[in-house]
Structure 1
Amino acid sequence: MSAACRRGNPGRAGARDRAGGFVLLELVLAFGILALLAALALPRSRPFDGPARLGLKAHEIAVLLRRDRDAARRAQQSVSTAIDPLGGTVRSGAANGAVTVPPAFVLRSAAPAIRFAPDGSASGGRILLAGRTSGAVAVAIDGLTGAVTVTREDARVR
């Protein structure tokens, strides 16, 4: 015989068990509703366009430029990397690769292309990526050595 029956209240033990299960069910439903709301709200939230993404795009462009420089040295022929500021793309001349800059950022370059020579030198130049609130990042190409560097700048586009 159970302890609840001995005390003269046979229905108490069963009520406690059912209440514990009911609380668990309420928690599961509450978490389910929160998950549903999060799933509906997250796609409508603004995409990430902060300083980290700006730096990431600048490093992607630097990698593409370094690959073109290395391809020019390997193939012993000139390779040009095309820069399209209006379209927001930097296209590789050696492979089918391209880096597309999100519309939230501005892509600027004085030259329409960077040419890498077979000896490792380059035409030189500078590509600037800027955001309205996230500052600017410059990708510089040294003309003598073909070295590609990424530096953060304080300028903001208005």
Structure 2
Amino acid sequence: MRRIDRVSAALGFTLLEILVVLAISTTLLMLVVPNLSRSIAGAELPKVTKQLAVVLRRGRSQAINQSRPVSFVLDVNDRSYRLGAASKLHHLPGDIDLTMLTGMELAQGVGKGAIYFYPDGSSTGGRITLRHGDRSQQVDVNWLTGEVSVLSDV
């Protein structure tokens, strides 16, 4: 009977062992969670950049297919953009900083700029830079060809 008691006593964990495991787990969580939230927020930058590039490419395609100019208007202060005058207004996340480089004559007020796509495939050209923390990405629109390209970590 004594032998059974010794075996059953060796199968459990002591309170000290459980506390040590909890302390190690808590320490690891404190190190991992802040970095995880930063990487999740940073993953949004490429997604938003790609989304803008898709919209700009759509604008070029619409101009060619419909044989009429199509405008892309970006409001940096409001963090919103619109493709064409009748389209829905889209908003960008608040934690991404925006700058737009375009021709002076294409400025539509403070913090607003436009890129026009023409039926021959050309455009007025421009550059949109998106920043989140120390990361940045750029969407370039070539004025001659209307080609849209994305540059990472510029």
TM range (shorter): 0.5 to 0.7
Residue by residue over 1:93-150, the C-alpha shift from the partner in whole angstroms, topping out at 9 and shown as x without a partner, is 164363524334334334500000111110011111112232x101000111110000
Residue by residue over 1:28-50, the C-alpha shift from the partner in whole angstroms, topping out at 9 and shown as x without a partner, is xxxxxxxxxxxxxx9xx957621
SS at match of 2:152: strand
For 1:110-125, list aligned pairs within 5 A: 110=102, 112-125=113-126
Could you tell me which amino acid in structure 1 is paired with residue 128 of structure 2? Answer: I
Give percent identity, aligned residues only: 31
Q: Is the 8 A contact 2:123 2:145 kept in 1?
A: yes
- Counterparts of 2:82 and 2:124, CA distance in 1: 16
Q: Establish whether residue 129 from structure 1 lines up as the match of residue 121 from structure 2.
A: no
User: Unaligned 5+ residue runs, structure 1?
Assistant: 1-41
Q: Is the 8 A contact 2:95 2:132 kept in 1?
A: no
Instruction: Give the alignment's TM-score, normalised by structure 1.
Output: 0.62
Q: 2:12 — aligned with what?
A: none
Q: Establish whether residue 109 from structure 1 lines up as the match of residue 101 from structure 2.
A: yes
SS at match of 1:123: coil
List, as ranges, runs of 4+ consecutive aligned residues in structure 1 with deviation greater than 6 Å.
none
Q: 2:149 — aligned with what?
A: 149
Q: 1:35 — aligned with what?
A: none
Q: 2:23 — aligned with what?
A: none
SS at match of 2:44: helix
SS at match of 2:60: helix
Q: Which has the larger radius of gyration?
A: 1
Structure 1 counterpart of 2:83, from 92, 97, 101: 92
Q: Establish whether residue 72 from structure 1 lines up as the match of residue 63 from structure 2.
A: yes
User: Unaligned 5+ residue runs, structure 2?
Assistant: 1-32, 107-112
- Counterparts of 1:127 and 1:58, CA distance in 2: 9
* Alpha-carbon distance, 1:78 to partner: 0.5
Q: 1:56 — aligned with what?
A: 47
In the alignment of these two chains, the number of paired residues is 135
Q: Is the 8 A contact 1:54 1:131 kept in 2?
A: yes
SS at match of 2:127: strand
* Alpha-carbon distance, 1:91 to partner: 1.4
* 1:106 to 1:144, Cα distance in 2 relative to 1, 3 A: closer
